[in-house]
Amino acid sequence: MKSRFQRSLALCAIVLTATTAMPPALAASKETIAISVGRLLEEGHYTRQKLNEEISRKFLLSYLELLDFSHLFFTQQDIDTLNAKYGNSIAGDVLLGTLKPAYDIYALYTKRVDGRVAKIKELLKQPIDFKSNATVELSRQKAPWPKDEAEADQLWRGRIANELLQEHLSEHPIEPAPQLVARRYDRLARNVHEQDKDEQIKLFLDALAQAYDPHSEYLSKADMKNFSINMGLSLVGIGAMLRSEDGYAKIESLVPGGPAQTDGRLKVGDRITAVAQGPADYVDVREMRLDKVVEMIRGKKGTRVRLLVIPADATDPSRRKNVELVRDEIKLKDQEARADIIIKKDENGDPVKLGWLKLPSFYADMDRHQKSTTRDVLALLKRLKKENIAGLIVDLRRNGGGSLEEALSLTGLFLKSGPIVQTKDYNGSIRISSDPDSGIAYSGPLVVLTSRQSASASEIFAAALQDYGRAVIVGDKNTFGKGTVQTILPIGRFASLLGSHSDEDGALKLTIQKFYRVAGGSTQLHGVASDIILPSLSDLPEFGEGALKNALPYDEVSKAKYTKWSDTHSLFIDQLKRRSEGRVKDDPEFHYVVEDIDRLRHKIDENRISLNEDGRKKELQDDKLRKEMRSKDRLARNQEEPRIYRLTLDTVDKPNLQLIMYPGKLAEAKKNGVSPKIDPEAAAPDADTDSIGGAPGDDTKEPTIDPERDETLNILADLVDLSRGPKTASTNR
């Protein structure tokens, strides 16, 4: 027989609509909320794991690391004492409503921060030698805690020396380094003391949820408010989602169509060090509470905010970039599907017309007017077919997912019929979701372009087309690897079983299912592997699901019954790969990418940075010279540019559309002294279409260099060539 909690979980959607007319009730106590979260995790999470000793140990570690991310404030002596006291029982305490461990551990953390900040202030008064050959760890997330206070003191000497040198070498100094660092740690101590019991419990229950998997979390009332702002689409006024990491506000994702994503300079993984309002001076935000940083970045539409950022690919954290953005509402049209028609020459010099479909997300009902990704893409496909494109690319880079229903129906536009994805519940029950429409909207040559940032619904789409043999998958080695489904459960609806409740109680984002491909494998951890891999700076395992703690494991289910698109050799993968490898080998832009990947990989693996000022200056100067040499090389090249037109939902039925990229535009930019814009994950350059013809677009825009885009177009042109007939297909070149 189902428990009362299980029945409530099953009826959650009904409860949410049936209780809207109920009078408001008092908020549950913190103890009741904790009990509700614990029981929901036990009975609602995909794993159905009990709050036992194993979860207790993960829970305690998660809480300690939420407090002390870099393993610097606590010592191993502290950790051993806390493990002995709470390691086997802290999860059980939650089910009893006992929150004393949360408060006691936080009190110890506060004490350690206060003591450390006092020592840092003394350290800042002492001279520091920047001529030695000493080094310091860049990231201590995986490092052990210092064994005792003496070892901690030594680690902190290196850390503070690095912070001082980092600020001293910065191209955008805010104030003298010692004063800046002292102010930073004063702020940290103040922030720690300002966390009230509600905020401490938020961290505590968040740690409990993350002990189950990285996508489950407790959402406080404030979190729910932010989550409800169109799922974060205008959360910080620039269209960026932030999270706190090692004292920085770190870019976790960029909202499609938002000011940050449109501008192109901010990247996932960038760390914000300072914020300025318009022309005002920068304010250092390191060690500032995330909500305070968000508040500084938010503002009225049309106002300007400046961000001082450490780039995600910086090998030296002294490197900064200054990004000025105009705050804006996220416009729905910027997030809609759009298409480009690209006319380029194939390897025989003959013109070929190709379609490029950019899909920022799998959206649905985004503006309360029954918006549908599938319906929008269908309209674009009709026009693309009318223009007689020879092949199509679907660009899913940066697409973090969205609606499952849209993923199913969109996949169906490219398949005749059959299963699309399998979903497994906690009890092993498997549901097969199929193409809802037996029709097919496009049957020509198809390539899907992905990256490590392609996740969830994007992975369902790409995996199905790969399993059916319908499309060639191109991009990073693998997509993100998120093969799980989450739901939002208001705690108040379940706390009511234990007493009074209200919306003040927050909610639990809970992982309840896993996705599987029709071929049987999971997208969890493994993601979708590309048939043809292109070098990319985003292609690092540190950016995927496998880098997250407590990620659910990979597994498989039985293969679903489905019929492949055609014979297994119809995509000519081997021939396409050989041709692509030859071009990539000779492409100077890919040479740059490979050099940067090697340099970044070495820095990540080495995980140390020099404290020698002269050495650091030389590295920064080398980086600057490298960029200058590359810019000169780009301007000196003579390369054939395609003719590109843009097709939007507003112009899909218009006979004449705007021409944006055309032969000679890059040469004009060079002549005018404009360096091409580098955007390794950009979609095809901005453009518009006619049947076919139009006036040139905004010539003030810098042409975009995107080697992945260019090579993916080459791959599609090859696929078109090889698909023309047995004679062409049998040619081995």
Count of structural domains, the chain = 3
Q: What is the mean pLDDT of residues 330-343?
A: 81
| 733 has pLDDT over 80 | no
For the annotated catalytic residues, the residue numbers are 456, 467, 482
Nearest CA among 223, 217, 163 for reference residue 504: 223
Non-local (6+) Cβ contacts of 154 within 8 A are: 146
Helix (H) or strand (E) holding 322: strand 321-326
Non-local (6+) Cβ contacts of 624 within 8 A are: none
| 687 has pLDDT over 60 | no
Non-local (6+) Cβ contacts of 257 within 8 A are: 239, 330, 331, 332, 333, 334, 335, 360
| 349 has pLDDT over 90 | no
Q: Are 207 and 104 members of one domain?
A: yes
Non-local (6+) Cβ contacts of 410 within 8 A are: 362, 373, 374, 377, 461
Instruction: Check if the beta carbon of residue 216 is closer than 8 Å to that of residue 42.
Output: no
- Of 179, 211, 243, which marks where a domain is finished? 211
Q: Are 200 and 274 members of one domain?
A: no
Question: CATH number, domain at 290?
Answer: 2.30.42.10
User: Which pLDDT score, from 0 to 100, does residue 6 have?
Assistant: 44
Spatial separation of the C-alpha atoms in residues 620 and 611, rounded to whole Å = 13
The answer to whether residue 454 sits within a structural domain is: yes
The answer to whether residue 222 sits within a structural domain is: no
Q: Other CB atoms closer than 10 Å to residue 246's CB: what's the count?
A: 15
| 732 has pLDDT over 60 | no
Instruction: Check if the beta carbon of residue 364 is closer than 8 Å to that of residue 373.
Output: yes
pLDDT tens digit string along 108-121? 999 999 999 999 99
The answer to whether residue 2 sits within a structural domain is: no
| 482 has pLDDT over 50 | yes
The listed range with the strongest mean pLDDT (285-299, 326-340, 658-672) is 285-299
Q: Other CB atoms closer than 10 Å to residue 570's CB: what's the count?
A: 16
pLDDT tens digit string along 552-578? 999 999 999 999 997 545 799 999 999
- Of 288, 304, 326, which marks where a domain is finished? 326
Q: What is the mean pLDDT of residues 191-217?
A: 94
Q: What is the mean pLDDT of residues 172-178?
A: 86
Q: Are 415 and 363 members of one domain?
A: yes
User: Which pLDDT score, from 0 to 100, does residue 700 have?
Assistant: 35
Instruction: Give the mean pLDDT of the chain.
Output: 85
Please give the radius of gyration of the chain, using alpha carbons only, rounded to the nearest integer. 27
Residues paired with 283 in a beta bridge? 275
Provide the total of helices (H) and of strands (E) in the chain, helices listed first: 24, 23
Spatial separation of the C-alpha atoms in residues 27 and 5, rounded to whole Å = 19
User: Which pLDDT score, from 0 to 100, does residue 538 have?
Assistant: 87
The listed range with the strongest mean pLDDT (101-105, 306-310, 332-336) is 101-105
User: Which pLDDT score, from 0 to 100, does residue 318 have?
Assistant: 82
Spatial separation of the C-alpha atoms in residues 544 and 211, rounded to whole Å = 18
Q: What is the mean pLDDT of residues 321-345?
A: 84
DSSP-derived 3-state class of residue 300:
coil
The answer to whether residue 697 sits within a structural domain is: no
Q: Are 385 and 424 members of one domain?
A: yes
Phi, psi of 668 (to 5 degrees): -65, -40
The answer to whether residue 501 sits within a structural domain is: no
Question: CATH number, domain at 409?
Answer: 3.90.226.10
pLDDT tens digit string along 592-645? 999 999 999 999 999 999 999 999 999 999 999 999 999 999 888 877 788 999
Lowest-confidence range among 146-160, 372-386, 693-707?
693-707
Spatial separation of the C-alpha atoms in residues 128 and 121, rounded to whole Å = 13
Residues paired with 711 in a beta bridge? none
Q: Are 319 and 395 members of one domain?
A: no
Cα dist. 724→71, 136, 317, 564 in Å? Answer: 60, 58, 52, 20
Q: Are 247 and 364 members of one domain?
A: no
For residue 306, give both structure tokens. Answer: 């400046």
Spatial separation of the C-alpha atoms in residues 132 and 135, rounded to whole Å = 9
- Of 148, 180, 211, which marks where a domain is finished? 211
Helix (H) or strand (E) holding 599: helix 588-606
Upper half-sphere CA count for residue 650 (Cβ side, 13 Å): 8
| 173 has pLDDT over 90 | no
| 666 has pLDDT over 80 | no
The answer to whether residue 420 sits within a structural domain is: yes
Alpha helices in 361-510 (DSSP H): 373-386, 404-412, 457-467, 491-495
DSSP-derived 3-state class of residue 395:
strand
Helix (H) or strand (E) holding 396: none
| 148 has pLDDT over 70 | yes
Q: Identify which has the larger pLDDT, 441 or 675.
A: 441
Lowest-confidence range among 160-164, 203-207, 236-240, 511-515?
236-240
Q: Are 395 and 434 members of one domain?
A: yes
Q: Are 430 and 411 members of one domain?
A: yes
Cα dihedral value 251, 256, 258, 260, nearest 10 = 40
Lowest-confidence range among 248-252, 279-283, 498-502?
498-502
Q: What is the mean pLDDT of residues 280-296?
A: 86
Q: What is the mean pLDDT of residues 269-280?
A: 92
Residue 140: band (very low, low, confident or very high) from pLDDT cuts 50, 70, 90? very high
Spatial separation of the C-alpha atoms in residues 450 and 533, rounded to whole Å = 10
Spatial separation of the C-alpha atoms in residues 557 and 544, rounded to whole Å = 23
User: Which structural domain range is residue 532 located in?
Assistant: 335-485+511-571
Cα dihedral value 622, 626, 628, 633, nearest 10 = 160
| 14 has pLDDT over 50 | no
Q: Identify which has the larger pLDDT, 731 or 39.
A: 39
The answer to whether residue 578 sits within a structural domain is: no
Q: What is the mean pLDDT of residues 293-313?
A: 88
User: Which pLDDT score, from 0 to 100, does residue 461 have?
Assistant: 98
User: Which pLDDT score, from 0 to 100, does residue 152 have?
Assistant: 98
Helix (H) or strand (E) holding 442: none
Q: What is the mean pLDDT of residues 214-229?
A: 75
Instruction: Write b or e for each residue in 159-189: b if 16 or more Cβ atoms lie within 10 A of its Cβ, otherwise e.
Output: bbbbbbbbbbbbeeebeebbebbbebbebbb
Q: What is the mean pLDDT of residues 504-520?
A: 94
Q: What is the mean pLDDT of residues 424-437?
A: 93
The answer to whether residue 138 sits within a structural domain is: yes
**Amino acid found at 686:** D
User: Which pLDDT score, from 0 to 100, does residue 3 have?
Assistant: 46
Residue 550: band (very low, low, confident or very high) from pLDDT cuts 50, 70, 90? very high
Q: Are 187 and 297 members of one domain?
A: no
Spatial separation of the C-alpha atoms in residues 540 and 95, rounded to whole Å = 39
Please, what's the largest Cα pairwise distance for the chain?
79
CA 34 to chain centre: 30
Q: Identify which has the larger pLDDT, 86 or 259.
A: 86
Task: Provide, rounded to the nearest whole percent, the portion of the chain with pLDDT above 90.
Answer: 62
User: Which pLDDT score, from 0 to 100, does residue 370 have?
Assistant: 67
Q: Identify which has the larger pLDDT, 344 or 7.
A: 344
Spatial separation of the C-alpha atoms in residues 520 and 507, rounded to whole Å = 33
User: Which pLDDT score, from 0 to 100, does residue 664 have?
Assistant: 59
Q: Are 315 and 358 members of one domain?
A: no
Residue 669: band (very low, low, confident or very high) from pLDDT cuts 50, 70, 90? low
User: Which pLDDT score, from 0 to 100, does residue 234 have?
Assistant: 36
Residue listed under structure tokens 């009230």: 196
Measured N-to-C along each axis, helices 76-86 and 100-123 cross at an angle, to the nearest 10 degrees, of 170
Q: Are 414 and 540 members of one domain?
A: yes
User: Which pLDDT score, from 0 to 100, does residue 233 have?
Assistant: 32
Q: Are 313 and 373 members of one domain?
A: no
Q: What is the mean pLDDT of residues 427-445?
A: 93
Instruction: Check if the beta carbon of residue 393 is closer than 8 Å to that of residue 447.
Output: yes
CA 479 to chain centre: 11
For residue 3, give both structure tokens. Answer: 């428990």
Q: Identify which has the larger pLDDT, 225 or 627.
A: 627
User: Which pLDDT score, from 0 to 100, does residue 439 have?
Assistant: 87
| 476 has pLDDT over 80 | yes
Phi, psi of 64 (to 5 degrees): -60, -35
Lowest-confidence range among 249-253, 500-504, 704-708?
500-504
pTM of the model: 0.82
Non-local (6+) Cβ contacts of 614 within 8 A are: 131
